[in-house]
Amino acid sequence: MFSKILIANRGEIACRVIKTARRMGIKTVAVYSDADRDALHVEMADEAVHIGAAPAAQSYLLIDKIIDACKQTGAQAVHPGYGFLSEREAFAQALKDNGIVFIGPNPGAIAAMGDKIESKKAAAAAKVSTVPGFLGIIESPEHAVTIADEIGYPVMIKASAGGGGKGMRIAHSSAEVAEGFARAKSEAASSFGDDRVFVEKFIVDPRHIEIQVLGDKHGNVIYLGERECSIQRRNQKVLEEAPSPLLDEATRKKMGEQAVALAKAVNYDSAGTVEFVAGQDKSFYFLEMNTRLQVEHPVTEMITGIDLVEQMIRVAYGEKLAISQADVKLEGWAVESRVYAEDPTRNFLPSTGRLVTYRPPSEGPDGEAMVRNDTGVFEGGEISIYYDPMIAKLVTHAPTREAAIKAQARALDAFAIDGIRHNIPFVAAVMQHPRWIAGNLSTGFIAEEFPEGFSLPVPQGETAQRMAAIAIACDHRMNQRKRHVSAQMEGWRKVAFDRLRIVQLGAERFDGEVTEQGGAVIIAFPGRSVSVVSDWVPGEPVWHGTLDGVKVAAQVRPILNGVALGHAGAYANAHVYTQREAELAALMPEKVAADTGKFLLCPMPGLVKAISVAVGQEVKAGEPLAMVEAMKMENVLRAEKDVTIAKILAKEGDSLAVDAVIMEFA
């Protein structure tokens, strides 16, 4: 076996590969840019080599730098992770030419499958179901419009070398094709160094289902079941699960056998993924093949018990697969949430900064479930503007889908992050969504269920009462602490606290009387008593405990006269009062937020790529005002209503902070 491998990547996937290599007794080499000098993967690896400046094009995408690092450290093989150079044929070939093993498929398979246009031709030749489309090179917006008109709307414009939702646009009209073509080409060029795009029919109400394949260098290929990846935003996956709630055994077998046939047709010899777009009637069409490890590979590992990174390393070394198709058994259900540094309440715009608090839930058993957290960050670390905004992948595995979802919801409630915005409130809300729970999914789920964007759900019903009980329990614990403050004046009686507590939870009021009984706090609400047990102490960001014997976790942050709570996808400030305090609080004036309607504010830290208007220009609602690039994505900022431009305060090339004023309206 290899004695030393280099990981040509960063973040959580680099850390993930290091964990398996360490378990296999293989030494690891990390590479890092200026921005990642103090990153977790650098600390975890046995050695680390600096390869350039912060932008990926000046570090992680430089093939020569990676090869030099291998020679410098004596690394015999390279694991590329995903993204960056993972699907670049030239990289695999350059390693081969220098006597270094690529832990991935052979260059020929990458060439055939890594290019989306060529992969569709290969799929058609291998008798795999394919989507109608134009697989030639499209040179101009006019050409793209002509093709789209012939195929019929809607269509998908996709970067040939793309991935991760970048260089991809859905168009419902010729105007959208023209604009989408320009954006897709631009994003493709900046993200992949290849601006070729193609057009294909977009299947309405589709599901995204992919088959994990695994091949060796001896002609053996197997499939490891499927993953459902339909919960997407801007074509980037947010939630994944395995298996899919749509498929039956017969459809799974048919999809798996087609995926294997395609892999064998190109002599595929590593872990790879064949992606399909599926109709609600279980019909399916080949979408693309990803010739690398997928971001969402942990859900497959959890239901099969197979370490895909280990298999990739063994196959690259030349070993035969020790697993046959008959050995593959799918056990239980796994659900994965991608935790991103983005603000779901502001159209999921990227967020950067320091992780003041980073406390993921405990990994390991949670009752009948298992919790896993793949991450590449740490408390005190920084989320950079230069790379993908992923913080972690939170995975739960349980005997049933229902149990896996409940475990995921508990784990999300226990995941504390402060210092940046993140999408945990959103994925926590999805875990409670009836349509998600029912498994009635499509790639349009987010757009259909959150058409006005996402706002923090207000607690209602049973959730609201649980949160009120937690708020009272927190207040009671803080009062106990006050009773034991040192250096109190002698001779004065201890302060007696009222037993009645009034919780103002958003617009709802809960009255609860507090007593203690055998280590539990008993809260008597009208018509119901709740027994609360917890060892929470003030200052802890997560409240762990039981309510009537049921395990519960909640986000807790101190506010004046109470706590800010997050639980089961709902969020609210819980003010806890005595009766007299409640009477006085009702008389206090409310602070009104400032009106920012006359300004275009930069929605995230980013680079101004374009200013589309001039001072004095009248702009209609929906027309573009400016374009800001952040985390490799170009974001067009549009007018929300008819306006006249009074002042323009930013110019192309400016780096702006969040909420910086770009322009002012008359």
Mean pLDDT of 241-253: 97
In the predicted structure, residue 589 carries a pLDDT above the cut 80: yes
> Tell me, what amino acid is at 236?
Q
Q: Check if the beta carbon of residue 609 is closer than 8 Å to that of residue 186.
A: no
Nearest to 377 by CA among 9, 10, 11: 11
Could you tell me the pLDDT band of residue 115, with boundaries at 50, 70 and 90?
Answer: confident
Looking at residue 194, what is its pLDDT? 85
Looking at residue 114, what is its pLDDT? 73
Nearest to 360 by CA among 336, 334, 394, 335: 394
| pLDDT tens-digit readout, 426-440 | 999 999 999 999 999
More confident residue, 453 or 49: 49
- My answer on whether 342 and 240 are in the same domain is yes
Residue holding tokens 């609600």?
Answer: 280
In a domain, 593, yes or no: no
More confident residue, 604 or 535: 535
More confident residue, 658 or 437: 437
Per-residue 3-state assignment (H helix, E strand, C coil) for 253-277: HHHHHHHHHHHHHCCCCCEEEEEEE
- My answer on whether 441 and 339 are in the same domain is yes
Nearest to 136 by CA among 156, 121, 154, 122: 121
Instruction: Report the alpha-carbon angle 7-44-308, nearest 5.
Output: 50
Beta pairing partners, 208: 277
Mean pLDDT of 442-449: 94
Could you tell me the pLDDT band of residue 461, with boundaries at 50, 70 and 90?
Answer: very high
Nearest-Å Rg of the Cα atoms of the chain is 27
- My answer on whether 67 and 169 are in the same domain is no
Cβ-based neighbour number of residue 597 at 10 Å: 9
Q: What percent of the chain has pLDDT over 90?
A: 76
Looking at residue 503, what is its pLDDT? 97
Looking at residue 496, what is its pLDDT? 64
d(CA 362, CA 409): 14
Q: Residue 165 sits in a domain of what CATH number?
A: 3.30.1490.20
Q: Domain residues for 76? A: 4-103
Q: Is 275 a catalytic residue?
A: no
Looking at residue 181, what is its pLDDT? 92
| pLDDT tens-digit readout, 13-45 | 999 999 999 999 999 999 999 999 999 999 999
Name the domain count of the chain: 5
Mean pLDDT of 326-332: 97
In a domain, 249, yes or no: yes
Mean pLDDT of 39-57: 96
More confident residue, 116 or 397: 397
More confident residue, 632 or 98: 98
| pLDDT tens-digit readout, 330-383 | 999 999 999 999 999 988 888 888 999 999 999 999 999 999 999 999 999 999
Q: Residue 541 sits in a domain of what CATH number?
A: 3.30.700.30
Beta pairing partners, 416: 359
Could you give the dihedral angle defined by the CA atoms of residues 218, 220, 221 and 222, in that order, rounded to the nearest 10 degrees?
A: -140
Looking at residue 161, what is its pLDDT? 80
In a domain, 298, yes or no: yes
Q: Residue 607 sits in a domain of what CATH number?
A: 2.40.50.100
- My answer on whether 370 and 340 are in the same domain is yes
- The DSSP output letter for 283 is -
In a domain, 493, yes or no: no
Looking at residue 505, what is its pLDDT? 95
Q: Check if the beta carbon of residue 371 is closer than 8 Å to that of residue 395.
A: yes
Q: Check if the beta carbon of residue 626 is closer than 8 Å to that of residue 608.
A: yes
- Kindly tell me the burial class for residue 631, based on how many C-beta atoms sit within 10 Å of its own C-beta (0-12, 13-18, 19 or more): buried
- My answer on whether 441 and 310 are in the same domain is yes
Nearest to 343 by CA among 431, 238, 425, 446: 425
Q: What are phi and psi of 478, to 5 degrees?
A: -65, -35
In a domain, 114, yes or no: no
- My answer on whether 88 and 194 are in the same domain is no
In the predicted structure, residue 264 carries a pLDDT above the cut 70: yes
- My answer on whether 379 and 267 are in the same domain is yes
In a domain, 489, yes or no: no
Looking at residue 164, what is its pLDDT? 67
Domain boundary among 170, 201, 232: 201
Both tokens of 205, joined, read: 């109400």
Domain boundary among 585, 609, 636: 585
- My answer on whether 651 and 611 are in the same domain is yes
- My answer on whether 245 and 393 are in the same domain is yes
pTM comes to: 0.84
Both tokens of 69, joined, read: 């690092």
Domain boundary among 201, 216, 242: 201
d(CA 439, CA 228): 10
Residue from 288, 296, 336, 342 carrying the catalytic annotation: 288
In a domain, 651, yes or no: yes
- My answer on whether 76 and 36 are in the same domain is yes
Q: Check if the beta carbon of residue 63 is closer than 8 Å to that of residue 91.
A: yes
Q: Residue 418 sits in a domain of what CATH number?
A: 3.30.470.20
Q: In the Cβ-directed half-sphere of 516, how many Cα atoms lie within 13 Å?
A: 7
Cβ-based neighbour number of residue 609 at 10 Å: 16
- My answer on whether 233 and 294 are in the same domain is yes
Per-residue 3-state assignment (H helix, E strand, C coil) for 292-309: CCCCCHHHHHHHHCCCHH
Q: Check if the beta carbon of residue 473 is closer than 8 Å to that of residue 565.
A: no
Both tokens of 523, joined, read: 């809260």
In a domain, 108, yes or no: no
Could you tell me the pLDDT band of residue 641, with boundaries at 50, 70 and 90?
Answer: confident
| pLDDT tens-digit readout, 288-301 | 899 999 999 999 99
Alpha helices in 305-457 (DSSP H): 308-317, 401-413, 424-431, 434-438, 445-449
- My answer on whether 573 and 629 are in the same domain is no
The enclosing H or E element of 471 equals helix 461-483
Could you tell me the pLDDT band of residue 151, with boundaries at 50, 70 and 90?
Answer: confident
| pLDDT tens-digit readout, 549-571 | 999 999 999 999 999 999 999 99
Could you give the dihedral angle defined by the CA atoms of residues 48, 52, 53 and 56, in that order, rounded to the nearest 10 degrees?
A: -90
Q: Check if the beta carbon of residue 617 is closer than 8 Å to that of residue 626.
A: no
Q: Check if the beta carbon of residue 604 is closer than 8 Å to that of residue 351.
A: yes
Beta pairing partners, 277: 208, 285
Could you tell me the pLDDT band of residue 495, with boundaries at 50, 70 and 90?
Answer: low
Could you tell me the pLDDT band of residue 204, with boundaries at 50, 70 and 90?
Answer: confident
**What phi-psi label fits residue 548: left (phi over 0), alpha (psi between -120 and 50 degrees) or beta?**
left
Mean pLDDT of 137-153: 89
Mean of per-residue pLDDT scores for the chain: 93
d(CA 124, CA 117): 11
> Tell me, what amino acid is at 501?
R
